[in-house]
Amino acid sequence: MKVQISSVRTIRELGKISLLAGSLSLGLSGMAQAETFRIGITQNNVGVDSYQTTYEQAFEEAADEADNVEVVVLDAGGDVARQISQVRNLIQQQVDVIIIWPTDGQAVVPAINGAKNAGIPVVVTNSNIAEAGQPLIAAFSGPNNIQQGAYAAEMMCDQLGGQGDIVQITGQPGYTTAIERQKGFEDRLPEVCPDVRILDSQPGDWNRAKAQRTMEDFLTRYDKIDGVYAADDNMGVGALNAAKSEDRADEIVFIGATNFAVGYEAMARGEYHGSVYQSPAEDARNALNIAIAVAQGKEVEKMSYFETPKITQENMDEFEKPVF
């Protein structure tokens, strides 16, 4: 269910934790009783990739456009210890709702439990937390990553004509999105293409340069590679660059996810074969709307997914080029 919010007035407070610690009063507790809601968000690692940077910009813009919402925007910098500290800080500030983009879906569960014990609901955004933490959260807002992996498997199967040998470049180990996209791909592939074999899987950590090195190693070890599935297009384009350097790109099908601009451009050149379209702006707006609804005491669906359709060379004209 997409949550519709009613008119409320926006008061937005933006800053990093070092600035906020001294500037925000703890005496603002009980804001839910007033007309202004205070929502704190701790993000994963803004700046490490363009998706998260665009997400943050869209979140801030959505908060500006909403009414009676004050947001505290924090970035964990990929450091789980820092993120746990930020959750504790938001609890101390007694915000009305905490949004968390987990750096580690398992390690943040105790911090989320702390928020629940303090009576502060938590909305998880983009990448889900471990199963043990599910009873503790109000909602998850983001893409269905298992479905995305399944979509990628279906596109790989179509592009290969039902048979071939492929390699897989996964995301950051321990990161729920990486785990779910791998599971969706590996569960769906044998269902639609039992004659497509996964030769090897190695992490690329959401990093294009590391994915390129991983692909260089694959190309050294395997004389025949028919396809590459990368858990996002940054890594997929890294793999493409490695194959181009070895003059083997023409013999390989490249399938990714989270349609980055570099993937879209490679698809337009005919070098890249499929991805899963995902809007960081919709991701951010969805999370904020869910958090506002929770603050207002409205009933929301536990798992709130937004649409992430398949995109290929054949239908890419139906989609705008990503800005991230």
* Pair 76, 102: CB distance under 8 Å: no
Q: Read off the tokens for 154.
A: 């279906």
| pTM of this prediction exceeds 0.85 | no
State the average pLDDT over residues 44-63. Answer: 88
- Alpha-helix runs per DSSP H in 161-269: 176-192, 208-221, 233-245, 261-268
Residue 207 DSSP one-character state: -
Q: Is residue 48's pLDDT more than 90?
A: no
Cα–Cα distance measured from residue 59 to residue 62, given in angstroms and rounded to the nearest whole number: 5
Within 10 A of 21 (CB to CB), how many other CB atoms are there?
Answer: 12
DSSP string covering 257-299, please? SS--HHHHHHHHTTS--EEE---HHHHHHHHHHHHHHHHTT--
pLDDT digits 0-9 by tens, 215-245: 999 999 999 999 999 999 999 999 999 999 9
Rounded Cα distance, 138 and 190, in Å: 35
Mean pLDDT on 102-109:
93
For position 36, what pLDDT does the model report?
Answer: 85
Answer yes or no: is pLDDT of 16 > 90: no
Chain-wide mean pLDDT for the chain? 89
Nearest to 225 by CA among 238, 240, 208: 240
Look at residues 199, 208, 265 and name the one whose alpha carbon lies nearest to residue 228.
Answer: 199
pLDDT for 67 equals 82
Residues contacting 83, CB < 8 A, separation 6+: 42, 44, 76, 100, 102, 103, 108, 111
Q: Hey, which residues does 227 pair with through a beta bridge?
A: 166, 253
